[in-house]
Structure 1
Amino acid sequence: MTDSTTDPKAASIRDFDAIPETALAWHRAGRRAALATVIQTWGSAPRRTGAQLAISGDGEIEGSVSGGCVEGAVITEALEALDEGKSRELEFGVSDDDAFAVGLACGGTIRVLVEPVGSALPEALLAELCEARAARTPVAYLVDLDSQARALAYDGHETAFRMDRSGFAPESRTFVAIHNPPLRLLVVGAVHIAQALLPMARIAGYDPVLIDPRGAFGSEARFPGETILDDWPDEAVTKLGLDTRTALVLLTHDPKLDDPAIEAALRSKVFYIGALGSTRTHAKRVARLSEAGFTEAEIALIHGPIGLDIGASGPAEIAVSILAEMTRVLRKGA
């Protein structure tokens, strides 16, 4: 195995922010901690709704909710909230003339919720949230700003999960913070399309892993700095795990390599399966999977021929079409 990290699973979480985990660690170490979360924005704001900042009782911080004077004010309020043991709702309105000084690109308003860990935000609830994140389980953190009730939800809020969008539940004062695992792309087949697709996917927010047991194809020289597994594809995808934040792309044209990985993916909850090949090649694939016992509805989950029909010519444009189709399925559903 050629790998830019020491553990292929670690690669899938290396860009995952650790703000809740940091706050929990500080609290358990006796340093006290508060979590500040952007709960609403209007106009211009450099951080999206759901962005978080962890503040320790001795003033150490990790993360960001804005910048400039806004962030400094949030830290001051968080330290006071720790002493008081109660959560606080903060609102900062900024004119266009003053926006740059407080970390906003132009005029706007942000609202921030500050929650001391252990008093407002129960330690056990934060620990469960962190456990779900570590297990790559999508989870929503719900807080009713009127009653101060807090809970975790593992289902419901389908649109919010799909869109990675935290915000208030309709017609309520319940804030829903979405905690999705990082997006991951598993590519079977170290071919020219993969050379273009992997860096594009990384720019789009995916953590890519390349799988190919053929050493001459999946080499460091051809894919410098990439995570490469030289296992058989079905073994590799099982090792990595297949979940709702994973896309699987198959580029080998070889049924011995593609089919076992497809079968594993069809038994999982991956959000996207795409397989390279002509309409005739895909028809043969469908026939093989039918003989293997998969239903018509299950087989229909495979996008083949892969990618949006944009008239792509050459590996780079095919990679664009694949990434575009993955995005459409992720954000709009199959």
Structure 2
Amino acid sequence: MRVSVADDVAALLEFALICHAQTRVAIATLIEVRGGAARVLGSHVVVAADGRYAGYLSGGCVEAAVAFEALLAIEAGKDRVVTFGDGSPFFDIILPCGGGITVAIHILREPDEIVQVLTCLEQRRTTALKLSVEKQALTVTAPPATTGWIGHWFHILYRPRIRIVISGQTVEARSVAKLARGCGYDVVFISGQDVIANLTELIDQYTAVLLLHHDMDQEQPALQAALRSKPFYIGALGSSRTHERRLEALRKAGFRDEDLTHIRAPIGLFGPTRDSTSLALSVLAEVAATRLAGFK
């Protein structure tokens, strides 16, 4: 029985801890993709012994079968590897994309490793687990460059949730914040000199800074702080003409042209937009595209 449609990794690992406190639980992990697939390597489905499950390894077409295999593993008390789609013995389970996947099912015996991962994510630090079905082991390890096989161990990289820092009290800012929260991003509004002075404490490589002002002078303190802190995305509202004036002001403040190339302006993946909802879609699409390009 699916109990959640969420695919946020922290939420899934928290679900695993809750289930482990109540009953036996298994974590199914996508360890191989053949052809096309809807999910990335390292995706999880968490399955409790009472039949509850959450997470995705595909677009929703094999999760019930994965849950069934996980229940068999729990009953047998032994980890297992199962294939679906292309190359699988299950001829009646076909992935719509035409590809195939391999899934490792690990019975969670001790929750400490999951607790450590969640603690790191809460502290906005990258972390990783390594999995061996042969050894029936799941342990915390140093973060690899990317999720995948290293020797006989499958390494799963976990990154903190994307944080959206918004400067501005406009209708556009409110629309972006509403949509960003719906997408599962952490959203922080900043205003006032004291908050802006501490902006560097909020920004890391998993942060996007959005300057949604209609007055260029109001955005300058936050924009300058963002440029010094190097988030993965900086976007600013305004026309191309406004952006030229923005760049000139930043040059006078001592910023180099190399620094200024990090600003996306006019903000958004498509435009121009004439309403706040369209702008929000455009902005978050650009944030997501930038994130995917940088964190592959």
Which of the numbers 239, 252, 275 marks the counterpart of 2:236? 275
1:111 equivalent to 2:102? Answer: yes
How far 1:150 moved relative to its partner?
4.0
- SS of corresponding position for 2:287: helix
How far 1:128 moved relative to its partner?
1.3
Residue pairs, 1:16-27, within 5 angstroms: 17-27=10-20
Superposition RMSD on alpha carbons, in Å? 4.1
1:153 equivalent to 2:114? Answer: no
1:142 equivalent to 2:112? Answer: no
So what's the TM-score if we normalise by structure 2?
0.71
**Contact 1:97/1:107, CA 8 A, preserved across alignment:** no
Which position in structure 1 is the counterpart of 2:202?
241
**Contact 1:252/1:276, CA 8 A, preserved across alignment:** yes
How far 1:235 moved relative to its partner?
1.6
- SS of corresponding position for 2:229: coil
Which position in structure 1 is the counterpart of 2:28?
36
Which position in structure 2 is the counterpart of 1:223?
none
Which of the numbers 178, 197, 222 marks the counterpart of 1:261? 222
Which position in structure 1 is the counterpart of 2:272?
312
Which position in structure 2 is the counterpart of 1:218?
none
Change (3 A) 1:326 1:68: closer
Change (3 A) 1:153 1:194: same
Change (3 A) 1:280 1:69: closer
Which position in structure 1 is the counterpart of 2:64?
68
So what's the TM-score if we normalise by structure 1?
0.64
Q: Provide the C-alpha distance between the structure 2 equivalents of 1:314 and 1:257, rounded to a whole number of angstroms.
A: 22
Which position in structure 1 is the counterpart of 2:73?
77
What is the letter of the counterpart of residue 118 of structure 2?
C
| CA deviation profile, 1:294-331 (whole Å, cap 9, x unmatched) | 666545433345446x6635356665654454344323
Which position in structure 1 is the counterpart of 2:160?
181
Alignment gaps of 5+ in structure 2 = 1-5
How far 1:109 moved relative to its partner?
2.9
**Contact 1:186/1:249, CA 8 A, preserved across alignment:** yes
**Contact 1:187/1:210, CA 8 A, preserved across alignment:** yes
1:54 equivalent to 2:15? Answer: no
- SS of corresponding position for 1:270: coil
Which position in structure 1 is the counterpart of 2:3?
none
Which of the numbers 99, 102, 122 marks the counterpart of 2:93? 99
- SS of corresponding position for 2:130: strand
Which position in structure 2 is the counterpart of 1:211?
189
User: How many residues are paired up?
Assistant: 278
More relative contact order, 1 or 2 (CA 8 Å, 6+ apart):
1
**Contact 2:204/2:231, CA 8 A, preserved across alignment:** yes
1:250 equivalent to 2:211? Answer: yes
